[in-house]
Amino acid sequence: SSELTQDPAVSVALGQTVRITCQGDGLRSYYASWYRQKPGQAPVLVIYDKNSRPSGIPDRFSGSRSGNTASLTITGAQAEDEADYYCNSRDSSGNHWVFGGGTKLTVL
Amino acid sequence: QVQLQQRGAGLLKPSETLSLTCGVYGGSFSDYSWSWIRQPPGKGLQWIGEINRGGRTNYSPSLGSRVTISADTSKSQFSLKLSSVTVADTAVYYCARLRSGYYHGFRFDWFDPWGQGTLVIVSS
């Protein structure tokens, strides 16, 4: 089991906006980071901090937080955004890190 | 641009000890914390543990005493040992740099970059 809960699967039409959410008590005290993972590849950081993107990540990716829920929003989803997305934060103790179960994003 | 390069055995028998090493190239080793993360086939990511820049370790409670993470700063590398492996330890193992910061009183952490991953299969 994970202390961070994500929807297993989400779909979005090409060019539309999609929000992927992550819930957990730890998120009341810590910001989440988000990772994109394509088949057979290592995860790649897409969002960290309040809403920061590493270099090379398009600005259609954004992050937000409200209460115990963190969200990753893709505005104008592209075919290459189809992947598994994982959130990460500290657990409720603050001493360890946990990942959400992952959300499989399908771009239709 | 920091790059992480993993190496280690990919096939083990039950009860053996998993041993992986992650080399850090192109950046500072001593200024950061370093972690191991694994992913069983078809499943999600699981944080295994970290070693901070002071050499202090911190492990996932679910793996507890079976895990040992160590670092060799002279070689800019850190290692993972997982003892008494079982079939349930079959996974792709990743190393990653762990960074932390604060924003308006909220702490945040992130793992970047990641190693290429090593598939470790435990089978009799």
Average pLDDT over residues A39-43: 97
* Minimal Cβ distance to A45: which of B45, B61, B111: B111
Q: Is A2 on the interface with B (CB under 8 A)?
A: yes
Q: Provide the 8-state DSSP code for A52.
A: B
Residue of chain A whose alpha carbon sits nearest to that of B39: A42
Asked if the Cβ–Cβ distance from A95 to B58 is below 8 Å, we say yes
pLDDT at A21 over 70: yes
The pLDDT confidence band at residue A29, using thresholds 50, 70 and 90, is confident
CA distance B40 to B90: 6
Q: Which helix (H) or strand (E) holds A2?
A: none
Q: Is B47 on the interface with A (CB under 8 A)?
A: yes
Residue of chain A whose alpha carbon sits nearest to that of B112: A45
Q: Which residue has the tokens 């702490």?
A: B107
CA distance A60 to A72: 10
Q: Which residue has the tokens 């297993």?
A: A8
* Minimal Cβ distance to A30: which of B37, B50, B106: B106
Asked if the Cβ–Cβ distance from B45 to A102 is below 8 Å, we say yes
Cα torsion B14, B17, B23, B28: sign: positive
The pLDDT confidence band at residue A2, using thresholds 50, 70 and 90, is low
pLDDT digit string, tens, across residues A45-92: 999 988 999 999 999 999 999 999 999 999 999 999 999 999 999 988
What residues of A are in contact with residue B111 (Cβ under 8 Å)? Answer: 33, 35, 43, 45, 88
CA distance B106 to A64: 13
Asked if the Cβ–Cβ distance from B110 to A44 is below 8 Å, we say no
Closest of A92, A93, A74, A3 to residue A34, by C-alpha: A74
The helix/strand/coil state of B90 is coil
Residue-by-residue pLDDT tens, chain B, 124 positions? 999 999 998 899 999 999 999 999 999 999 999 999 999 999 999 999 999 999 999 999 999 899 999 999 999 999 999 999 999 999 999 999 999 988 888 889 999 999 999 999 999 9
DSSP code per residue over B64-87: GGGEEEEEETTTTEEEEEE-S--G
pLDDT at A1 over 80: no
Q: Provide the 8-state DSSP code for A3.
A: S
Enter the tokens of residue B29: 């080793």
What residues of A are in contact with residue B37 (Cβ under 8 Å)? Answer: 99
pLDDT at A13 over 80: yes
Q: Which residues pair with B47 in a beta bridge?
A: B37
Q: Which residues contact A106 (CB under 8 A, 6 or more apart)?
A: A9, A10, A11, A12, A82
pLDDT for B107 equals 83
Q: Provide the 8-state DSSP code for B53.
A: T
Average pLDDT over residues A25-54: 94
* Minimal Cβ distance to B45: which of A49, A86, A95: A86
Residue B71 backbone class (left: φ over 0; alpha: ψ -120 to 50; beta: rest): beta
* Minimal Cβ distance to B109: which of A35, A50, A90: A90
Q: Which residues contact A16 (CB under 8 A, 6 or more apart)?
A: A76, A77
